[in-house]
Structure 1
Amino acid sequence: MADTLSALPLPDLAGFTHRWIEVDGVRLHAVEGGRAAGPVVVLLAGFPQTWWAWRAVLPDLVRRFRVIALDLPGQGHSDRPRGNYDTHTVAARVEAAVTGLGVAEFWLVAHDIGAWVAFSLALNHQQRLHGVALLDAGIPGITLPESVPTDPGRAWKTWHFAFHTVPDLPEVLLAGRERDYVAWFLQAKALAEDTFDSAEIDHYAAAVAAEDGLRALLAYYRDAAESGRRNHDALGRGALTVPVLGISSSHGSIPDMAASLSPWAENTRGVVIPGAGHFIPDEQPAAVVDAVTAFIDHG
């Protein structure tokens, strides 16, 4: 599958090196940069993005930290394996990939479905984490709504959760129309419609359209019920003890991430970033850097 992805344009970012790590026969792509001896920060992006979602955050973070931005399975230049995309399965691959990069302990920062994976990773590998920051995401089985509202004023934020779980139909309707679909998310869910330029939309749409990318990304939603069940099983052993930062935005999907997570985590704090919709790292990157840096400094 790596060969079929080789034709997908691979953007470079000054000061960062592309890395590929094989985990259980699945190649995952990451970019890495920053201070070799600094604290390690691992970044996970959400739907419909890739590691490039952090492009405006990375240059500031590397001044103090060693930073790794990882493409989840199905994203960007990572493989799109068949099989389970429940967040515990994916989290195990992410944890193994970070280990493969020589990292023992790290801070984890994640958005959207990346936050789904990060929450499950924290449940299973708290000993590896200094802390986890989760940006604007409902967590399966925890804070993700089980039903979609029918009021148009609210339904536009969550309607896709149901659509993505329908077998086969999204692929039939979206094949060949990936750019239109991706553009809707990026333009409708950002506070300013011009947050993403045409080239950025092209980048994300090409990644979704490449070799089973659409099928793989839909699988996160189709396996969300299993992710929720496994989250609850893990929480049966006890709440999260690792520090958790909930990052919300003034116009995002989850008004108060910290409040939504606090029943499941013993040490939770929150911040609300103004002037942003759902795509906070793209819309207010400096504020994200400040929030993450303060979280790490607080320890």
Structure 2
Amino acid sequence: MTGPATSTPHAFESNPVRDLPLQHLDGFTHRWVDADGVRLHAVEGGRPSGPAVVLLAGFPQTWWAWRKVMPGLADRFRVIAIDLPGQGHSERPERSYDTHAVAAHVHTAVKALGVSTYSLVAHDIGAWVAFSLALDFESHLRRVALLDAGIPGITLPEAIPTDPDRAWKTWHFAFHMVPDLPETLLAGREREYVGWFLKMKALSPDTFDDAEVDHYAAAVAADGGLRASLAYYRDAAESARKNREALERRHMTVPILGISSSHGSVPDMAASISPWADNTTRIIVPDAGHFIPDEQPEAVAAAITDFIAVDD
């Protein structure tokens, strides 16, 4: 049975990752929920009676990736940013990081917060989870927005390109799947590793300041965070298998917005998803690399608002 959500006054007792300092955002509250045996961290605010919007971040970030977008949504929506299992201040289970297993935890967490129907907005590995969640729990979703991500079994490349101009964007997929070696090389050097992604994949290398790099690196380093981060890639084949099996039965009918950027990894998210979904639209955010919510938060907030407000 799902336990009650816990708010900020009891954060120390509820927080499963106590060595990582909490990041606070004005108008938002930290909560923890028991999602089928995995304690997940959520940050909630906005208009309590408004339509619910759930935000999921990817590697190597935490819910903090949405900090610039969340205030722009708060006047109209109930905003809930969730740390995935192994991410941020959520628990780091030992196994089951395929995206359908993770999606079930996320959906249970949302229900524990009293939300039955919601829109889902997700970036990078968060988009992996969101895609699987849409396959498994579509009847609970109003709309889904996916930002700059190849989806396992659907659009994620099977092979790493050998052209240096493209290989730097995807080389880490194979590296993360190698047993043990990444942990051996990266333990104690998480800041250098995380910093490379944040600096190289943003259009401007100044997008992330030292404090932000410190936060994300500390989250990866804390309490099994590195192992959990790698586990999403190591379970990608299982995620792909389950995605393909689900799509053999039906297409997705929930409206999907593909958000790409001028200098991101996936030139047209909507086009990449459209063979498996009946209702896709797209937007290309200018002057941004892979980390679109950090680089162009106002454009992202506006795109999400316009997309979801159609149903109001």
State the TM-score, normalized to the length of structure 2: 0.95
Give per-residue Cα distances to partners, 1:85-128, cap 9 Å, x unaligned: 00000000000000000001000000000000000000011100
Answering whether residue 245 of structure 2 is matched by residue 233 of structure 1, we say: yes
Runs of 4+ in 1 over 4 A off after TM superposition: 1-4
Aligned to 2:226: 214
Aligned to 2:265: 253
Q: Is contact 1:88-1:230 (8 Å) kept? A: yes
Aligned to 2:129: 117
Tell me how far 1:4 sits from its aligned partner. Answer: 6.1
Give per-residue Cα distances to partners, 1:106-159, cap 9 Å, x unaligned: 000000000000000000111000010000000000000000001111000000
Matches within 5 A, 1:277-288: 277-288=289-300
Aligned to 1:97: 109
State the TM-score, normalized to the length of structure 1: 0.99
Q: Size of the alignment, in residue pairs?
A: 299
Counterpart CA distance in 2 for 1:39 and 1:60 is: 14
Give per-residue Cα distances to partners, 1:20-52, cap 9 Å, x unaligned: 001222110010001110000000000000000
| CA RMSD in angstroms, aligned pairs only | 1.0
Aligned to 1:194: 206
Percent same amino acid at aligned positions? Answer: 72
Aligned to 2:149: 137
Answering whether residue 22 of structure 2 is matched by residue 10 of structure 1, we say: yes
Counterpart CA distance in 2 for 1:244 and 1:4 is: 33
2:249 alignment partner, SS class: coil
Which of residues 54, 63, 69 is equivalent to 1:57?
69
In structure 2, the CA distance between the partners of 1:4 and 1:31, relative to structure 1 (3 Å rule), is: closer
Counterpart CA distance in 1 for 2:209 and 2:164 is: 27
Aligned to 1:127: 139
Counterpart CA distance in 2 for 1:252 and 1:115 is: 14
1:210 alignment partner, SS class: helix
In structure 2, the CA distance between the partners of 1:245 and 1:3, relative to structure 1 (3 Å rule), is: closer
Which blocks of at least 5 consecutive residues in structure 1 are unaligned? none
Letter in 2 for 1:74: G
Counterpart CA distance in 2 for 1:176 and 1:4 is: 21
Answering whether residue 253 of structure 2 is matched by residue 262 of structure 1, we say: no
Counterpart CA distance in 2 for 1:294 and 1:23 is: 31
Give per-residue Cα distances to partners, 1:38-96, cap 9 Å, x unaligned: 00000000000000000000111001000000000010000000111000000000000
Letter in 1 for 2:274: S
Aligned to 2:173: 161
Q: Is contact 1:178-1:208 (8 Å) kept? A: yes
Which of residues 185, 191, 194 is equivalent to 1:179?
191
Q: Is contact 2:16-2:89 (8 Å) kept? A: no
In structure 2, the CA distance between the partners of 1:4 and 1:241, relative to structure 1 (3 Å rule), is: closer
Answering whether residue 51 of structure 2 is matched by residue 39 of structure 1, we say: yes
Counterpart CA distance in 1 for 2:37 and 2:249 is: 31
Letter in 2 for 1:287: A
Tell me how far 1:2 sits from its aligned partner. Answer: 6.5
